[in-house]
Amino acid sequence: MAQVFPTSAQIVIIGGGVIDTSIAYNPVKYGARDLLLLEKTLPTEGATWHAAGLVGQFRSQQNLMEMMSDSVKVFDQLGQDTAQNPSWNKVGSLRIAPSNERWGELLKSQASAQAVGFEMDMLTPQEALEIYPLMKIDDLVGAAFIPADGHIDPNSLT
């Protein structure tokens, strides 16, 4: 029997990468059913296939931090909402400051992180070493630890 493809839909999304499927996610979550996602090859075969899957909320601009922080809230909920495991590992991230200038930048960013609402802990070199014991700390001024960062498998997420 010949396959019948839809010729129209209320919502049409072009592409089957992680951004495209996340655009589809909310309308479907809240009840939309007439949604068509068009992918010219296979889902995740674009940039998504190459991604390391690092999830870091720290950004130079506050609006980008807010977007990343919202993504983390979605990742936290996704397993429960979809009954599929997105391989979300919330292991935290360390940003190191090997100079006083970099340390100053991290201290300034801490205020933005607090405004967005995610935790960013300022650590001494010794405290950073306890989190990542393979690190050399001779030239370290300090480090910032973001406990709610981590990595997610881009394929499973899509």
Ligand X SMILES: Cc1cc2nc3c(=O)[nH]c(=O)nc-3n(C[C@H](O)[C@H](O)[C@H](O)COP(=O)(O)OP(=O)(O)OC[C@H]3O[C@@H](n4cnc5c(N)ncnc54)[C@H](O)[C@@H]3O)c2cc1C
Question: How many C-beta atoms lie closer than 10 Å to residue 58's C-beta?
Answer: 19
Q: Whole-number minimum distance, CB 10 to ligand X, in Å?
A: 18
What x-and-dash track marks residues 16-45 binding ligand X by CB under 6 A? xxxxx-----------------xxxx---x
Is residue 65 a contact partner of residue 113, using CB atoms and an 8 Å limit?
Answer: yes
The backbone region for 139, taken as left when phi is positive above 0, alpha when psi lies in -120 to 50, beta otherwise, is alpha
Cβ distance to ligand X smaller for residue 45 or 70 = 45
Residues 109-138 that bind ligand X (CB under 6 A): none
Q: What are the two backbone dihedrals, phi and then psi, of residue 14, each rounded to the nearest 5 degrees?
A: -100, 115
Q: Whole-number minimum distance, CB 39 to ligand X, in Å?
A: 5
Measured CA to CA, the distance from residue 116 to residue 111 in angstroms comes to 9
**Closest C-alpha among 12, 7, 5, 4 to residue 36:** 12
Contact flag: residue 47 with ligand X (CB under 6 A): yes
How many chain residues interact with ligand X (CB under 6 A)? 20
Question: How many C-beta atoms lie closer than 10 Å to residue 114's C-beta?
Answer: 11
- Tell me how long the chain is: 158
Residues 83-112 that bind ligand X (CB under 6 A): none
Amino acid at 19: I
Residues 137-156 that bind ligand X (CB under 6 A): none
Indicate which single residue of 9, 13, 37, 53 sits in contact with ligand X (rule: CB under 6 A): 53
Amino acid at 114: Q
Residues 54-73 that bind ligand X (CB under 6 A): 54
Task: State the residues that interact with ligand X by CB under 6 A.
Answer: 14-20, 38-41, 45-48, 50-54
